[in-house]
Amino acid sequence: MTDLALELVSVTAGYGDNPIVREFSARLYAGTITTLIGGNGAGKSTLLRAIFGTNRHFSGQIVFKGETIEQLPPWERLKRGVGFVPQGRCNFPAMTVEENMKMGCYTLPAGRHVAAIERVANSFPMLRTKWRTDAGNLSGGEQQILEMAMVLLVEPTLLLLDEPSLGLSPKMQGDVFVTVQQVARTGVTVLVVEQNVRGALLISDRALVMEQGRLFMEGPAAEVRTDPRIRQAYLGGNIKQTAA
Amino acid sequence: MTVDAVYLLQLTLNGITLGLLYALIAVGLSLIFGVMEIINFAHGELLMLGAFAMAFALPVMGLLYWPAMAVAILATMLAGLAIYEVLLAPLKPDEFERSILITLGLSIIIIHAMQYIFTATPRLVDTQYGFEGIEIGSIRITWTRVIGAGAALVAFGGLYAVLRYTQFGRAMRAIAQNREAALMVGIRPRVVARNAVVLAAGLCGLAGAAISPIQLVTPYMGQFLIFKAFALVIIGGLGNIPGAIVAAVALGLVENWIGGFFEIVWQEAAVFVIMIAVVFLRPDGLFKRGGMRVG
Ligand SMILES: Nc1ncnc2c1ncn2[C@@H]1O[C@H](COP(=O)(O)OP(=O)(O)O)[C@@H](O)[C@H]1O
Ligand SMILES: [Mg+2]
């Protein structure tokens, strides 16, 4: 549990001329689930985008498997094993599930597509039952599973998940959490942003707390869960954040 | 006014041919719009370049139709590649206004450069098929029209297969449907945009080559075509490729019917009257709008 999967060294990132995430440093350990907690607009999505490379990097290092990747474009990071499932619906709605899966294989050599799709479809039997349905006609939960499946096709060693349970029924939220745990058990390092903080802390090994783009607290999930400030801000009856 | 059935049929056949050639332009425009979210106002000029390339290649190739057409397609694809690399690649995703100015400016520059080099004198293009054609009863349709229509149909079949069954084509639909998801699966947007522009330019080259023995070739022949093609893309439902094809063939028909029975000015106005009517009645076009649907 001490193998380093990803190290962020004072990362500053944002959009255009606006740095949103500031001097953010953290470590993710191989095969663990880390949850990233923070209020609305704290910069959680911005941090995940920075790790995948779809927004502007200002300064700092992102070290993945001993290599600094912050200057690489997203497809190069994907090839090295960084997978990212963005927030909200992120699939090809006018393509069938099958076509979406084929697109998921985009960076793989053609000879590996069939085997990759077979492997991932076996872990998500739901997909097979909807194989010829347009992704846009799936339920929110099914689309979320599909999006995770599309990224898992390339066997990433680091999986970034942005609010995978957002907008799902409580039952589907549970299914998504179980799926995340299954994925982590195969050795994949997971960094997950969750609006369901309680649920996410329960399946996570560690937690990072972000406030206004900066690291506010980090530690084992069990400790963060019992911290009075976290309990009050994120786990109380009132979900409204106090940006103290 | 009595309607002569043979005359009507003749107009209809000519209309379908013309419509299929319009469709090639409209589809290319739709393809570039889907992938890059820009309107290529120099699209008609690519057709004109294709027509000129055909006009110059034919005598060199001993008037042989197919080799000259291959040269014309290749030439426009190269022109498309150059336009992409020099002018379009530097565009950022949210620079729609700049893209209008750049492509509109390019269109005007190409027209005037061609006029300066080759003069505005209309050219009559002769091929191995001359003005021969097939005659069914008293209907006559020239081979160049039949072949032009056939080549367009084959091109649509090919385009459909590429967009539907290859990763190369699927990536274009993917970007049109969800840009962030395209990045998620590792698509390189600029490579795909370049492919789309070159592919669309090739379709223009095909259309230009096919149209050159049918219409007079001038530096201005593409000028109004872009607006027609744009209207067709709107009528067909933005991003809906079969919709654009259906709208284009329908326009070819309507134009020929109107041109056959009314004054020629109505022929040119028809498409825009229809477009405005469609935009008012069905703001999203006649067919389902969507992230580059192919079926
Ligand atoms: N695409 C974008 N362009 C510019 N600013 C953005 C963009 N996305 C988010 N922001 C800004 O960045 C800040 C953090 O947003 P985000 O990372 O989405 O927060 P979170 O995911 O924690 O809710 C917000 O102030 C938001 O307005
Ligand atoms: Mg977010």
In the stretch 166-205 of chain A, residues with CB closer than 8 A to chain B read: none
Q: How confident is the model at residue B139 (pLDDT cuts 50, 70, 90)?
A: confident
pLDDT number for residue A240: 44
- Among the ranges given (A180-189, B66-75, B251-260), the one the predictor scored with the smallest mean pLDDT: B251-260
Residue B185 CA to residue A105 CA, distance in Å, equals: 7
Residue A92 CA to residue A102 CA, distance in Å, equals: 11
pLDDT number for residue A147: 96
Question: Which is nearest to A105 in space by CA: A96, A115, A95?
Answer: A115
pLDDT number for residue B52: 97
Q: Chain B residues with CB inside 8 Å of A102's CB?
A: 167, 170
Query: What mean pLDDT comes out for the span A44-48?
Result: 97
* B287: phi then psi, degrees, rounded to nearest 5: -115, 170
Q: Chain B residues with CB inside 8 Å of A164's CB?
A: none
* A78: phi then psi, degrees, rounded to nearest 5: -60, -45
Query: What mean pLDDT comes out for the span A69-82?
Result: 97
Q: Convert the pLDDT of each residue in B165-221 to its tens digit.
A: 999 999 999 999 999 999 999 999 999 999 999 999 999 999 999 999 998 999 999
- Above 70 in pLDDT, residue B2? no
Q: How many angstroms separate the alpha carbon of residue A18 from the centre of ligand 1?
A: 10
For ligand 1, whether the C-beta of A41 sits within 6 Å is yes
Nearest CA to ligand 1 atom 4: A15
Query: What mean pLDDT comes out for the span A15-19?
Result: 95
For ligand 1, whether the C-beta of A44 sits within 6 Å is yes
pLDDT number for residue B267: 79
Q: Convert the pLDDT of each residue in B21-52 to its tens digit.
A: 889 999 999 899 889 989 899 999 999 999 99
Residue A33 CA to residue A47 CA, distance in Å, equals: 16
Nearest CA to ligand 1 atom 8: A46
Report domain extents, chain A: 4-242
Q: How many angstroms separate the alpha carbon of residue A43 from the centre of ligand 1?
A: 6
Residue B285 CA to residue B248 CA, distance in Å, equals: 13
The alpha carbon of B87 is separated from its chain's Cα centroid by a whole number of angstroms, namely 21
For ligand 1, whether the C-beta of A49 sits within 6 Å is no
pLDDT number for residue B230: 83
Rg (CA), chain A: 17
For ligand 1, whether the C-beta of A36 sits within 6 Å is no
Residue A91 CA to residue A158 CA, distance in Å, equals: 20
Distances (CA, A) of A47 to A8, A196, A243, B125, B138: 10, 18, 18, 61, 73
* Coil/strand/helix, residue A222: helix
pLDDT number for residue B293: 66
Looking only at the bridges linking them, the beta strands covering A33-38 and A189-193 are parallel
> What does pTM read for this prediction?
0.91
In the stretch 181-220 of chain B, residues with CB closer than 8 A to chain A read: 181, 183-188
- For the domain A4-242, what is the CATH superfamily, name and number? P-loop containing nucleotide triphosphate hydrolases (3.40.50.300)
What number is the ipTM of this complex? 0.92
Cross-chain Cβ contact B167/A106 below 8 Å = yes
- Above 60 in pLDDT, residue A237? no
**Domains assigned to chain B:** 5-281 (1.10.3470)
Q: How confident is the model at residue A239 (pLDDT cuts 50, 70, 90)?
A: very low
Query: What mean pLDDT comes out for the span B56-78?
Result: 96
pLDDT number for residue B204: 96
